Amino acid sequence: MSSEHPTEPDGSDTKDRARRTDAKRSFNALVQAARDVFASSGVDAPVRDITGKAGVGTGTFYRHFPKRGDLIAAVFRNEVDSCADAAPALAENHPPLEALAAWLHRYSEFIATKRGLASALHSGNPAFETLPAYFDARLRPALSQLLERAAKAGEIRTDLDADDIISAVANLSMPARTARPDHTRRVVNIFMDGLKSR
Amino acid sequence: MSSEHPTEPDGSDTKDRARRTDAKRSFNALVQAARDVFASSGVDAPVRDITGKAGVGTGTFYRHFPKRGDLIAAVFRNEVDSCADAAPALAENHPPLEALAAWLHRYSEFIATKRGLASALHSGNPAFETLPAYFDARLRPALSQLLERAAKAGEIRTDLDADDIISAVANLSMPARTARPDHTRRVVNIFMDGLKSR
DNA sequence: TGATAAACGGAACATTGTTCCATATATGGT
DNA sequence: ACCATATATGGAACAATGTTCCGTTTATCA
């Protein structure tokens, strides 16, 4: 489900050869290493930290991500993919309301842990311009699926759509400066309670 | 009104000599140069750009601002001071409602042009920890003064306090990605209309 | 006016971003 | 299985920027 090669342009291939397997391996290793390093050191971490953890040279890094923002965008896309892909899995293994709650917390964690995200989106960097659309395209269907299932079961109110909920939970999950540790989880729970039909 | 030396600790001076005048001059030159450079190149502008414009050496820079965040915080404090100081001046020279509207636009512009602000506040950098309290301490009284004056004249509703308005206008002023040029000014105007008593 | 501590400037050093290219390797045709 | 070739790789070299250090200058006070 998750696209390991997110930005392939139109299907036209003037290329006579396919992308080499070592290139794919490097690409994935870099995205994964970057995710770890970003989590511990923030999105401004040195390139050498990432290449070191990925076990590739700096030249390889710049071959795959000519602009630094390209890597950050790839990491975000990768994480959004994981989050979206969690929805069908949850739907299969849990009752409707439970699956919905679990996914909202999953999504909330994604927002809360990505400090750099909001800044990146507002930075004006062209590498990030397509991200919001991508987020929407992946997350809305994922949530819609869970919502519809819960709505069919008559377990939630129906006067909010996926968009409302995605942005509401995002705002709730923005880490507040003065918040107690479990703050986000609690407010999202409250929101979730409000979502239930009475 | 504006404090040119914002972070002097408790009044106790164990110091036998006062701060030298050239030190004050350098400090102010740096803050002013930084404000200009930040405006044109963002808060990540090279240190040498700032020292160059200020006409001081890099050593002087680090003597005044051991951490880069210290400078950014100083610039923000400086701008908040300007904004707060505008309130009494507007109150003297304009009718209540007009003064209030003018100040809200002034404040809105401050928020809108400081892209780096929100990111800085959420960055977890300890240099910024005291900023929100400072903002509140300076801006709330400034706005309260204008609100009370307009309320006494019976020109505005009274079921919103300064805090509500400060945060509401801040949210309205956050530059949206897809917004048309004059977007912020228009929505702030609408908010201002809503504020009038009927 | 002279002694002194404070402040200054900028070279030197440290860190990180980016480019370049000689070398290594996957791929498709034979 | 082997070769020719485009592709990918690694890391040294370079560039840009952050930060420290210290010899020199200057404001302040007695």
The amino acid that residue A155 corresponds to is E
- In-domain check, residue A10: no
What φ, ψ does residue A45 adopt, rounded to 5°? Answer: -60, 145
Which of A30, A45, A66 finishes a domain? A66
Within this chain, do residues B164 and B118 fall inside the same structural domain, yes or no? yes
Indicate the length of chain B as a whole number: 198
Residue B83 half-sphere exposure toward CB, CA atoms < 13 A:
27
Within this chain, do residues A27 and A41 fall inside the same structural domain, yes or no? yes
Q: Tell me the nearest-neighbour CA distance from B13 into chain A, angstroms.
A: 33
Structural domain count, chain B: 2
Share of chain B above pLDDT 90, in %: 50
- In-domain check, residue B8: no
- In-domain check, residue B90: yes
CATH number of the domain bearing residue B189? 1.10.357.10
Residue B31 half-sphere exposure toward CB, CA atoms < 13 A:
19
CB B37 within 8 A of CB B29: no
Within this chain, do residues B75 and B109 fall inside the same structural domain, yes or no? yes
Within this chain, do residues B148 and B122 fall inside the same structural domain, yes or no? yes
Within this chain, do residues B49 and B87 fall inside the same structural domain, yes or no? no
pLDDT of residue B161: 82
3-state secondary structure of A196: strand
Answer yes or no: do A177 and B121 touch at CB < 8 A. Answer: yes
Indicate the length of chain A as a whole number: 198
Within this chain, do residues A108 and A25 fall inside the same structural domain, yes or no? no
CATH number of the domain bearing residue B44? 1.10.10.60
A18 CB-to-strand C distance under 7 Å: yes
Protein residue nearest nucleotide C5, by CA to C1':
B17
Query: Mean pLDDT in each 10-residue stretch from start to end of chain A (198 residues)?
Result: 41 56 96 93 92 96 91 92 96 95 93 76 76 92 96 88 83 62 79 82
- In-domain check, residue A171: yes
- In-domain check, residue A165: yes
Answer yes or no: do B118 and A122 touch at CB < 8 A. Answer: yes
Within this chain, do residues A181 and A95 fall inside the same structural domain, yes or no? yes
* Of the partner residues B119, B132, B177, the one whose CB lies closest to the CB of residue A119: B119
pLDDT of residue A176: 56
Within this chain, do residues A171 and A120 fall inside the same structural domain, yes or no? yes
Please list the alpha-helical segments (H only) found in B94-130.
96-113, 115-122
B25 CB-to-strand C distance under 7 Å: yes
Within this chain, do residues B104 and B143 fall inside the same structural domain, yes or no? yes
Within this chain, do residues A92 and A178 fall inside the same structural domain, yes or no? yes
Identify which has the larger pLDDT, B87 or B188: B87
- In-domain check, residue B2: no
pLDDT of residue B111: 85
Range of the domain at B162: 68-195
Instruction: Annotate A95-130 with b (16+ C-beta within 10 A) or e (fewer).
Output: ebbebbbbbbbbbbebbbebbbbbbbbbbeeebbee
- In-domain check, residue A11: no
Chain D nucleotides close to protein (CB under 7 A) are 6-13, 16-22, 26-29
Through-space distance between the first and last CA atoms of chain B, rounded to whole angstroms? 35
Tokens encoding A4: 């390991």
What CA–CA distance (Å, rounded) separates B50 from B71?
11
Within this chain, do residues A25 and A78 fall inside the same structural domain, yes or no? no
Q: Tell me the nearest-neighbour CA distance from B127 into chain A, angstroms.
A: 13
Within this chain, do residues A136 and A171 fall inside the same structural domain, yes or no? yes
